[in-house]
Homo-oligomer: A and B are copies of this chain.
């Protein structure tokens, strides 16, 4: 049963070869918190297969008639290979990331995906983290790298390290919208001590 807690919506972008746990943990915890969230395929086909051969059927595609990035407050980028380079190659998505950042809207990325925000110039001077294998990209683009933190929040940016930190990443997104009490409720619901 979904009890909607806020009017804003979150989009989790789904590319072929995504790390499915990084994307779906966000969907799961936001559902529990009552934060509207859509899985959005960056391909015209809404059925997308992950890097671990899990096929999911997304709620929408960016190619759908009437789709607009402006329907969403926060844009979330899961990692995975080749999911991350596939997101990076999606020009409409990259334009939307720049546009959202310009408006001060929140952006979240995990694992390899913070490198996309870095390459777009959005993390310069920002505290951030990513998968250890991609931290050099953040460093090269002027981020203040917090290499050991599982998740880092700096203003509208939420960044995190990998599938093993996806719960903490998702909880920071819950905190962004609903605060500490909601985080504690969701954390208890998933039995994360």
Contacts and interface: CB of A to CB of B under 8 A. Distances in A.
A164 B150 contact: no
A187 interface: yes
A132 B53 CA distance: 32
A54 to B, nearest CB: 6
Contact of A165 (B56, B131, B191): B191
B193 A150 contact: yes
Interface string A42-75: 0000010000111111000000000000000000
Contacts of A55: 56-57
A21 interface: yes
Most buried by B among A163, A167, A191: A191
A132 B57 CA distance: 31
A39 B55 CA distance: 10
Give the number of times this chain occurs in the complex, counting copies: 2
A28 B20 contact: yes
B167 A190 contact: no
A6 to B, nearest CB: 17
Contacts of A193: 150, 164
B191 A150 contact: yes
B163 A164 contact: no
Nearest to A1: B51
User: Which of A27, A28, A57, A165 gathers most chain B CB within 10 Å?
Assistant: A28
Given A20-B24, A54-B56, A164-B191, 4 more contacts: A19-B28, A20-B28, A28-B163, A132-B191
**Closest A-B pairs by Cβ, 10 of them:** A164-B192, A162-B191, A164-B190, A31-B52, A55-B57, A163-B190, A161-B191, A164-B191, A28-B52, A21-B28
